[in-house]
Chain A
Amino acid sequence: MPLSWLNAGILAWFLLGAALSAKARRGMGRGVIDYFLANRTVGGFVSAMSYSATTYSAFMMVGLVGLTYKSGIASLGFELTYLLGTVVLLVLFAPRYWVAGRRYGLMTPSELLSTRYGSKWVGAVASLLCLVTLVPYASVQLMGMGYLLEGVSGGAFPFWAGMAVAAAITVVFSIWAGLRSVALTDALQATIMLVACCLLVAFIGGFLFPEGWGSAMAARPDLLKVSWPFPMFLGLTLPWTFFALTNPQVVQRLYAPKDIRSIRGMVAGFSVFGFIYTVLCVLLGLAAALLVPGLKNPDGAMAALLTKVPRGLALLVVLSIFAAAVSTLNSIILTLSSMFGRDLVRALTPLPEEKELKWGKLLIPVLTVACYAFGSLKLGLIAVLSSMASAGLMAQLPVILGAFFWKRGTAAGAIAGMISGALLTGVLYWTKTNFLGQWPPVWGLCASVAVFVAVSLMTRPDPAGGDFIETVASDVKRTFWQGQDS
C-alpha cells in the first residue's frame, strides 16, 4: 500500500478523533471523578461502544484471525466462551460495581478492594499487579501497530514510527479530557472496527466466494473441526472468561454509566457487538486459510488477505486495526494512571484531590513512554509477559468474589492470595511448566483461592467488610430489583 495513502488515512482518522476529544474537553469539569469517570454521566450507547473498543484489541483482527488460520474454528469457541462468561458476569456484577461506586465514591477497581477489606494495602497490591501485567500487554499493542504499518507499507513506514504514531495518538486522546475523550473516541473507533470488518467479509463473500462460504469450505473441511487439545482450550479460555472482573480497564467502566438504563444499554450493546465482531473475525481467518494458504507466520494472515481486496477497503481495515489497538491502549493507560494516583500514591501519603489528578495526568505520558520503550526492545520476553497478563490478573478473582459475597475474607488473606497466585502463574509461565498437563492459569487460580481462604480463616476479618457486603446487596436489591424477588 502506498505510504501516502496510509499517511492520509491515519491523519483523517486522527483529526476526527481529535475533534471529538476537543468537543469532550469543552464539557469537562474539575476533579478526579470528572476526569477519570466522566463524572459518572456516560450514556448507554457510548458506554457500549467504548466497552467494546476497550475489550477488543488488535488481537481480534490479527491474533484471532491468525489462530483460526492455523487451527480452525476452535478459536471461535475460545472467543465466544469469553463473551458468554462476560455477559453472565456483567449481568451479575455491573449493578454491584455501579452501586458500590456511587455509595462509596469509588474511582478504581482496586479502591473497591481497599474499601471492602479495610486496608489500603489490598488496593496497592492489586494496583501493582495490574501495572506489572498490563504495561507489557499495552506495549504489545504498540508493537502490533509498528509491525502492521511496516508490513502493509512494504517497510516505508518503519516499525519505530508506527509505534511512535500510535503512542502519540494515545496520549492525545487520553490526556485532553480523560474518560470523556477516551469514551467518545472509543465509540468512533468501535464503529470503524465493525464497519471495516463487515465490509471485508461482505466483499469476500460476494466477490471471492461467489458460490457461498459452505462451498468454499469444502476445500478445507478440517478447519471446521474442533482441533485444539482440551488443556490448551482451558488454559487460554479460563483467564478470558473472567476478564470482565479481573481487567481494571473494563471494570472501571462499570462506575461510569449515568443510570440503570445506560448500564443495560452498555451490556446489551457490548454483547451484540462482541458476537458480530467475533464471528466476522473467525470467518476472515477461514477465508485467509483458503485464499492465502501456506504462510509460515499465521499472524501475517490478515496482512496477506488484504492483498486480495481493493486498496481502499484494505486501508479502512488497516485503520480499524489501528483503532482497535489505540482504543485498548488509551483505556489501559487511563485506568492505570488513575490507579497509580489513587491506590499507590495515596496509599503511601495523604494527597489532596488536585495533586492526585496531577499525578494521574503525569502518568499518562510516562506510562505511554514506558510502553514504547518496552515495545522498542522487541524482546521475546514481552510476548511471554503479555500472555501472562490475563493469567496473572486472575489472581485477583477470589479476592474480588470475596469482596461481594464472603464476609469472612480478610485483608491479609486477600494480599497473600493475590501475591501467591500471581507468583505461581509467573513462575510456571517462565519455566514453561504445564503441571499435570494443565496450563499455568489453572494452577495460579487454585493457589490464589487456597491461600486466600486459608489465610482469611486464620486472621480476623474487618467488621466493616460485612457492612460493605450487606450495603451493596441491599442497594442492588432496592435499586435494580425493587423488591421484585428475594
Chain B
Amino acid sequence: MSKTERIWLGFGIIALLANIAVPFGLMKDWTRFSGAFLFWCATALLIIAAGGYVMSRWGEGGRFPCR
C-alpha cells in the first residue's frame, strides 16, 4: 500500500467512526436538519471530495496490457 493509500485508509476509518459516534453520541436528540442530517451529509461530501483528490493523483499509466 502506498503512503497516500495508507493516509486515505486512516482518514476513511476516522470518518466512518465519526459518522457513527457523533450522531449517536452528541446529536442523538437533536430535532432539526442542522443535526445528524447535516452531519451525515457533510461527512459524505467530505469523503467524496477527498476521494476525488486522491484519485486525481493517479497517474495516466495508459492501457495496462491484458494477458
- Give a binary string over B1-37; 1 marks a CB under 8 Å from any A CB, 0 the rest: 1111100110011011001100110011111110111
Q: Can you list 10 A-B contacts (CB < 8 A)?
A: A84-B15, A98-B64, A103-B64, A224-B36, A226-B24, A264-B56, A275-B44, A275-B48, A481-B58, A484-B4
- Looking at A8-16, A57-65, A73-81, A331-339, the stretch in contact with chain B turns out to be A73-81
Q: A102-B67, A260-B61, A482-B61 are in contact. Are A80 and B32 (CB under 8 A)?
A: no
List of A residues within 8 angstroms of B29 by Cβ = 225
Q: A73-B36, A87-B47, A486-B2 are in contact. Are A233 and B20 (CB under 8 A)?
A: yes
Tell me whether A261 is interfacial, beta carbon within 8 Å: yes
- Looking at A20-28, A265-273, A434-442, the stretch in contact with chain B turns out to be A265-273
A84 touches B16 (CB 8 A): yes
- Give a binary string over A396-422; 1 marks a CB under 8 Å from any B CB, 0 the rest: 000000000100000000000000000
A259 touches B63 (CB 8 A): yes
> Whole-angstrom distance from the CB of B7 to the nearest CB of chain A?
9
Alpha-carbon gap, A47 to B54, bound state (A): 19
Alpha-carbon gap, A241 to B60, bound state (A): 29
Alpha-carbon gap, A81 to B66, bound state (A): 35
Shortest Cβ distance from A98 into B: residue: B64
Alpha-carbon gap, A163 to B4, bound state (A): 47
> Whole-angstrom distance from the CB of B3 to the nearest CB of chain A?
4
Shortest Cβ distance from B20 into A: residue: A81
Q: A81-B19, A224-B37 are in contact. Are A88 and B2 (CB under 8 A)?
A: no
Alpha-carbon gap, A90 to B12, bound state (A): 11
List of B residues within 8 angstroms of A83 by Cβ = 44
Shortest Cβ distance from B28 into A: residue: A226
Tell me whether A211 is interfacial, beta carbon within 8 Å: no
List of B residues within 8 angstroms of A222 by Cβ = 31
List of A residues within 8 angstroms of B59 by Cβ = 260, 479-482, 484
B57 touches A226 (CB 8 A): no
Shortest Cβ distance from A103 into B: residue: B67
A224 touches B35 (CB 8 A): yes
A479 touches B5 (CB 8 A): no
- Looking at A213-221, A293-301, A340-348, A450-458, the stretch in contact with chain B turns out to be A213-221
Tally of A-B Cβ pairs under 8 angstroms: 153
Shortest Cβ distance from A83 into B: residue: B44
- A interface residues, Cβ below 8 angstroms from B: 40, 73-74, 76-77, 80-81, 83-85, 87-88, 90-92, 95, 98-99, 102-105, 213-214, 217, 221-222, 224-226, 230, 233, 237, 241, 258-261, 263-264, 267-268, 271-272, 275, 279, 405, 473, 475-482, 484-486
B40 touches A80 (CB 8 A): yes
User: Which of these, B36, B41, B65, contacts A279 with CB under 8 Å?
Assistant: B41
Alpha-carbon gap, A275 to B29, bound state (A): 24
List of A residues within 8 angstroms of B1 by Cβ = 92, 405, 473
A91 touches B62 (CB 8 A): no
Q: A73-B36, A84-B43, A88-B47 are in contact. Are A484 and B2 (CB under 8 A)?
A: yes
List of B residues within 8 angstroms of A478 by Cβ = 61
Alpha-carbon gap, A233 to B40, bound state (A): 14
Q: A77-B23, A477-B2, A486-B3 are in contact. Are A91 and B67 (CB under 8 A)?
A: no
A221 touches B31 (CB 8 A): yes
Alpha-carbon gap, A76 to B35, bound state (A): 12
Alpha-carbon gap, A221 to B29, bound state (A): 10
A225 touches B44 (CB 8 A): no
Alpha-carbon gap, A254 to B33, bound state (A): 36
B64 touches A88 (CB 8 A): no
User: Which of these, B37, B51, B60, B66, contacts A267 with CB under 8 Å?
Assistant: B51
> Whole-angstrom distance from the CB of A153 to the nearest CB of chain B?
35
> Whole-angstrom distance from the CB of B35 to the nearest CB of chain A?
6
Q: A104-B67, A261-B60, A481-B59 are in contact. Are A77 and B2 (CB under 8 A)?
A: no
User: Which of these, A87, A226, A264, contacts B36 with CB under 8 Å?
Assistant: A226
List of A residues within 8 angstroms of B3 by Cβ = 485-486
B55 touches A80 (CB 8 A): no
Alpha-carbon gap, A485 to B58, bound state (A): 11
User: Which of these, B41, B62, B65, contacts A80 with CB under 8 Å?
Assistant: B41
Alpha-carbon gap, A98 to B51, bound state (A): 18
List of B residues within 8 angstroms of A81 by Cβ = 16, 19-20, 40
List of B residues within 8 angstroms of A217 by Cβ = 33
User: Which of these, B30, B48, B63, B65, contacts A224 with CB under 8 Å?
Assistant: B30
Of A73, A230, A241, most buried by chain B (CB within 10 Å of CB) is A73
Shortest Cβ distance from B49 into A: residue: A271
List of A residues within 8 angstroms of B33 by Cβ = 213-214, 217, 224
User: Which of these, B8, B31, B56, contacts A88 with CB under 8 Å?
Assistant: B8
